[in-house]
């Protein structure tokens, strides 16, 4: 079963608490993810102005079925930046 929940143009908050409970996939191909992202991220390169994408959790089965990764991305486009990331 595949699914997605998006709140773009429906819900916006500056601060808050976010929680997710999900059963992650075991098969290769698709991946489960939980992230938050600024709606202005593609408009410029300064994350202080345009925001970032925070990958709270992504599960890529190629890393193993019990490993999730975490990352931050900003400056969408030709100069996109990404943190080194972390796996747990």
Give the Cα separation of 65 and 50 in Å (integer).
34
The model's pTM is 0.81
What is the tens place of the pLDDT at every residue in 9-31?
888 888 888 888 888 887 777 78
> Residues with Cβ < 8 Å from 29, sequence gap 6 or more?
61
Radius of gyration of the chain (CA): 14
First to last CA, the chain: 25
Query: What CA–CA distance (Å, rounded) separates 4 from 33?
Result: 9
Let me know: does 59 contact 32? Beta carbons within 8 Å: yes
Is residue 2 scored above 70 in pLDDT?
no
Predicted confidence band of residue 67 (pLDDT cuts 50, 70, 90):
confident
Tell me the mean pLDDT in the region 46-75.
90
- Cα–Cα distance, 61 to 11 (Å, whole number): 31
pLDDT over 90 percentage in the chain = 41
pLDDT of residue 34: 92
């Amino acid at each position: 079963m595949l699914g997605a929940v998006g709140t773009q143009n429906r819900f916006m908050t500056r601060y808050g608490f976010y929680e997710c409970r999900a059963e992650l996939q075991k098969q290769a191909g698709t991946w489960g993810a939980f992230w938050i992202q600024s709606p202005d991220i593609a408009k410029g390169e300064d994350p202080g102005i345009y925001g970032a994408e925070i990958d709270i959790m992504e599960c890529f089965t190629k890393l193993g079925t019990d490993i999730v990764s975490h990352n931050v991305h900003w400056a969408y486009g030709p100069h996109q930046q990404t943190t080194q990331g972390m796996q747990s």
